[in-house]
Amino acid sequence: MASPRAHWTLTLLALLSSIPFTHAATVTYDFNISWVTANPDGLTSRPVIGINGFWPIRRIEANVGDRVIVNVLNSLGNQSTSLHFHGLFMNGSTHMDGPSQTTQCPIPPGGRFTYDFTIEQPGTYWYHSHTHGQYPDGLRGPLIVHDPENPFTDMYDEELVLTVSDWYHDQMPDLLPLFISKVNPTGAEPVPNSALLNETQNLTISVQPGKTYLFRVINIGAFAGQYIWFEGHNMTILEVDGVYTQPARADMIYLSAAQRCSFLVTARDNTSANFPVMASMDTDLFDTLPENLNWNVTGWLVYDSEAPLPEPRILEGSFEPFDDMALVPWDGQPLLGEPDQVITLDVIMDNLGDGANYAFFNNITYTSPKVPTLYTALTTGELATDRTVYGQYTHSFVLERGQVVELIVNNLDPGKHPFHLHGHHFQTVWRSADQAGTFQDSGVAPAEFSAIPMRRDTVVLFPNGNVVLRFRADNPGVWLFHCHIEWHVQSGLMATFVEAPLDLQKSLKVPDDHYAACRAGGVPTMGNAAGNTVDLLDLNGQNTPPGPLPAGFTTKGIVALVFSCIIGIVGVAVVAWYGFAADV
């Protein structure tokens, strides 16, 4: 007869043998970031930022549980850089999140930097530069995390990754000074020159009859949201932004910059024809429509390589994409409870004293601190829980661990804004239609919130509308919340969440190569946002935006002034010309 101890051991072994084990791997990427030349739309060759001499840049792939190491060498020569792994929570690794002057110093030309993190979440993500509006120049690519326990594996035969994006013929260092300038007082964003599929045009996708494909689609663009549809086929949505959903059928989807969606497409049994794959830029975002702009890009599902590639059908009327608020998370996570902290952010676009147009949350336009915000959290002791030390213009909010945070965002602007939260998914518990005004004036009660809200990390806020988000502060770190239109990032539409900073002080060790990047760039790594280390509440010397406009100046007034000046100059020139002509 077996002893009780032996019986317990056999029972434990039997239980362990029934658990499916996966072996986590270490996946290493060596990235030499440098300039290459490309012409993705066939219209203009230009310098783009590539990796290891290639562009488009390579895909990062890993399995849930893998450790990922990315060794970066900045060979750009004339620009600093960094990498953000969009949508990954970076649990325990906030210093690997990537935004310059938030969780690290920028990697200077010639500098080396290692990102080292473990991924515990499946899904469709991407990575891109998070320095000086750089990623539209090419430093952007897919990041796919495969799941051995994917609940939908038996529903498809093959995975395909598809990116949609906008493309500019001019480089960002040339475009940004003109965008944030007194010559652009209305803040009109530069209109892209082209739309791309997988960073090219005229993409062909070979499919086999009867097979079902999982398309992982990522908008890696800088500005334009995109309407996406497959002629002659429907989609079954299974995931958005790394969150599995209950299957939902759609004929068309909308992806803002930074959003992702995975869906099934089943190929037809008949191979007699090929079908257009369409992406159309959301022209409602553009202040002007250049005459030569083609805001559509066409690819094709190719059943027969000998058959013609048909022209896409013209869609009459307005687009009607699937409403992502109707999605139900696969795990059925219920609405989080009453919030412990409510933060209200009003989106405003306005001009400052230099005549340029800026973006604001609650009349604060984000300005980078002298000390990266994470390093302030690590070096200010007990005062790290006082938002003052992070500076007025990082617009920081300190969150306690475990809090339920409710974020109310009111859009006081007539444009759409895709808002992204680092380090978390959020529940989108309410989103108004456009022109609905502020949430406070809407009369909506919490009883009207969804019982099982849609979750993702990037949500579209409609013009002059509002949205209510909830998340649990269960990931100590420093996390940005910002519009993912890159023009608005650069003009200041960002806030910072400092989550459980005292826990960070106890647990986080920043690697030496991260500090080396700071030393090379002359960036201080201790003290408050101003770099003061003695009186931590003294913000003298902090970076500040331009001052306010003189009283009485408005955007319309600035426009009128600019045009008056132009007309005046033209008038003087005409008079002078007339005078010279009279002398002759």
| Short-list 329, 336, 324, 327, CA closest to 449 | 336
Please give the pLDDT value at position 6.
33
Instruction: Tell me the β-bridge partners of 214.
Output: 159, 264
| Band of pLDDT at residue 65, cut at 50, 70 and 90 | very high
Average pLDDT, the chain: 92
Please give the pLDDT value at position 449.
97
Find out whether 261 and 255 touch, Cβ atoms under 8 Å: yes
Q: Cα(79)–Cα(520) distance, rounded to whole angstroms? A: 13
Instruction: Report pTM.
Output: 0.91
* Tokens, residue 255: 């992806």
Q: Cα(408)–Cα(422) distance, rounded to whole angstroms? A: 17
| Short-list 534, 263, 196, 488, CA closest to 383 | 534
The strands making up 477-483's β-sheet, listed across from edge to edge, are 396-399, 494-499, 477-483, 417-421, 458-461
| Band of pLDDT at residue 8, cut at 50, 70 and 90 | very low
Indicate if the pLDDT at residue 564 is higher than 60. Answer: no
Please give the pLDDT value at position 12.
33
Q: Cα(548)–Cα(273) distance, rounded to whole angstroms? A: 61
Please give the pLDDT value at position 314.
84
Indicate if the pLDDT at residue 573 is higher than 60. Answer: no
What integer is the mean pLDDT of 176-205?
Answer: 98
Indicate if the pLDDT at residue 561 is higher than 80. Answer: no
Supply the DSSP string of 492-520, one letter for each residue: T-EEEEEE-HHHHHHH----HHHHHHHHH
Q: Backbone phi, then psi, for 36, in 5-degree steps?
A: -135, 175
- Render pLDDT for 296-328 as a digit per residue (tens, 0 to 9): 999 999 999 999 999 999 887 789 999 999 999
Instruction: Tell me the β-bridge partners of 455.
Output: 427
CA angle, residues 31, 34, 38, in degrees to nearest 5: 115
Indicate if the pLDDT at residue 200 is higher than 80. Answer: yes
| Band of pLDDT at residue 13, cut at 50, 70 and 90 | very low
Placement of tokens 């009867």 in the chain: 210
Helix (H) or strand (E) holding 4: helix 4-17
Please give the pLDDT value at position 22.
53
Find out whether 483 and 493 touch, Cβ atoms under 8 Å: yes
Please give the pLDDT value at position 381.
98
CA angle, residues 377, 379, 383, in degrees to nearest 5: 65
Indicate if the pLDDT at residue 217 is higher than 70. Answer: yes
Phi-psi region of 210 (alpha: psi -120 to 50; beta: other; left: phi over 0): left
What integer is the mean pLDDT of 333-353?
Answer: 98
Indicate if the pLDDT at residue 563 is higher than 60. Answer: no
Indicate if the pLDDT at residue 84 is higher than 60. Answer: yes
Indicate if the pLDDT at residue 584 is higher than 50. Answer: no
Q: Cα(50)–Cα(437) distance, rounded to whole angstroms? A: 43
Indicate if the pLDDT at residue 525 is higher than 80. Answer: yes
| Short-list 338, 370, 384, CA closest to 500 | 384
Q: Cα(92)–Cα(99) distance, rounded to whole angstroms? A: 16
More confident call, 583 vs 433:
433
| Short-list 66, 182, 180, 71, CA closest to 133 | 180
Please give the pLDDT value at position 1.
37
Q: Cα(289)–Cα(191) distance, rounded to whole angstroms? A: 8
Share of the chain above pLDDT 70, in %: 91
Please give the pLDDT value at position 559.
52
Q: Cα(146)–Cα(62) distance, rounded to whole angstroms? A: 6
What integer is the mean pLDDT of 345-352?
Answer: 98
Please give the pLDDT value at position 583.
40
Find out whether 313 and 280 touch, Cβ atoms under 8 Å: no
What integer is the mean pLDDT of 209-223?
Answer: 98
What integer is the mean pLDDT of 171-199?
Answer: 98
Find out whether 388 and 537 touch, Cβ atoms under 8 Å: yes
- Render pLDDT for 381-423 as a digit per residue (tens, 0 to 9): 999 999 999 999 999 999 999 999 999 999 999 999 999 999 9
